[in-house]
Amino acid sequence: MKTIRLAPVDLQSIRLDMPLPFGLVDRHGVLLAQKGFVFQNESTLNMLAERGRGFFVDFSDLRDPQLRSAQRDYVNQLMNRLESQSTLGELAKVHLRYPKSEYIDERLLDWPDIVEICNSMLRTRDSKFFNQRLESMIAILTHEVKANPDKTLLALFYLAEQKPHLYSSTHSILVCAICALTASTVLHWSDADVNLLMRCALTMNIGMVALQDALTLQKDATDLSQRVLINAHEAMSGHLLEMFGVDDKDWLNIVRSHHATIKDPLHCKHRSERLVGLLHRVDVFTAKLSSRVSRISLSSSQVMKSAYYDELGKIDVLGAAIVKAVGVYRPGSFVKLASGEIAVVIRRGKNTSAPTTVLILNKYGIPVASDNVRETSDRNFAITSVVPSNDIHVTLNLDKLLKI
């Protein structure tokens, strides 16, 4: 039984609106749905199952403890059938059942893995591969933004700092998540608008992925050839999307004009202009928070202020919505407390200026175990200032912070 690589899955055991505890492949081992993917309707579930002539689980890599547990269950079923002297036909009917929801690890998502998936999606020129990965990304991020918004922001802001060589991927996912969160929870836009906005965020820079990653690590100023590619990337992104079969005019128009400055976008007649207004602001907002070899990132307070007010010093409605969505002190930012301690923000509070934090340095600057929670609504631990990430020389344990 140790040679079993693929095991068929009982289709009826897969639950809608629940992240997959492990990936699904077709009968040849080709990935159909990534671990963490969320089936939101039966039509998508049945379509993928029909494409793969059923769903299978791949046991060739058993580093995942849930996958090891699933293999044991499947082997036990086969052994029980053998002991009862079942025929080969009856053995072939043994299918792996997915675990019930209460046994599924709530923290299924491997965020570094999601970044890698996005990177491969943005760099491919295979339309089938692109479309499959895009649908997986949209489903996963839609679920996580709704179910775990603070974990999502914390993980993505952290990885944006830790993986500068994958800037294009981390940036597009972060823009996607913030757009979805702002549009759905603050602006209350329709599900259709949110979905389209997420697709545009993930694909807007597909025409300059390699260059965007290279520029993050480049010390010198951009040369002429790089500036030409930068100026052409909106059109190139639109061209690639058409090559992948995208025929949604709004999607293509938004990607081709996502750097446009739209005045008073909430009162524009065209849907695409309204969505460009938010996408452009989130794009600039996250870019300012990201550091490069050639420059350090702006402080969170500077970025929040520049988003909240326009060039005339008036409140920018969409910028204010972004600040409200992510919080004045966003998850992943570092702050100094009234106690003299340094902490990292892990969760937004009901009051956008009073988040939940975890202590990382005591008042003497000595690192401490990252399980001391500080509620900044308590005046003894109120935030006194933002600390630039470049001033923090402590490696954080992302998994531990996400558990807290």
pLDDT tops 50 at residue 2: no
CB under 8 Å to 55, separation ≥6 — which residues? 8, 9, 11, 14, 24, 25, 26, 32, 33, 48, 49
Q: Are 201 and 232 in contact (CB under 8 A)?
A: no
Rounded mean pLDDT of the chain?
Answer: 85
pLDDT tops 50 at residue 261: yes
Report how far residue 5's alpha carbon sits from residue 27's, in angstroms, rounded to the nearest whole number. 11
* Alpha helices in 297-397, H assignment, sequence order: 300-308, 317-326
pLDDT tops 50 at residue 102: no
- Cβ-in-10-Å burial (0-12, 13-18, 19+) of 82 comes to exposed
Q: Which domains does the chain have, with CATH numbers?
A: 6-102 (no CATH), 111-326 (1.10.3210.10), 334-403 (no CATH)
pLDDT tops 70 at residue 256: yes
- The more confidently predicted of residues 314 and 258 is 258
Question: What confidence tier does 103 reach under pLDDT thresholds 50, 70, 90?
Answer: very low
Question: What confidence tier does 1 reach under pLDDT thresholds 50, 70, 90?
Answer: very low
Question: What confidence tier does 104 reach under pLDDT thresholds 50, 70, 90?
Answer: very low
Question: What confidence tier does 263 reach under pLDDT thresholds 50, 70, 90?
Answer: confident
Report how far residue 149's alpha carbon sits from residue 28's, in angstroms, rounded to the nearest whole number. 36
- The more confidently predicted of residues 396 and 152 is 152
Report how far residue 384's alpha carbon sits from residue 335's, in angstroms, rounded to the nearest whole number. 7
Mean pLDDT on 301-318 = 81
pLDDT tops 50 at residue 101: no
Q: Can you read off the two tokens belonging to residue 259?
A: 């750097």
Q: Mind giving me the DSSP string for 231-300?
A: HHHHHHHHHHHHHTT---HHHHHHHHTTT---SSGGG-SSHHHHHHHHHHHHHHHHHHH--BTTBPPPPH
Q: Are 280 and 262 in contact (CB under 8 A)?
A: yes
pLDDT at 88: 63
- Among 130-144, 225-239, 290-304, where is mean pLDDT lowest? 290-304
At 193-202, the pLDDT tens digits run 999 999 999 9
Q: Look up residue 210 and give its amino acid.
A: A
- The more confidently predicted of residues 2 and 51 is 51
At 11-56, the pLDDT tens digits run 877 877 677 777 888 888 888 887 777 777 788 888 888 877 888 8
Strand 342-347 and strand 24-25: the pairing is: unpaired
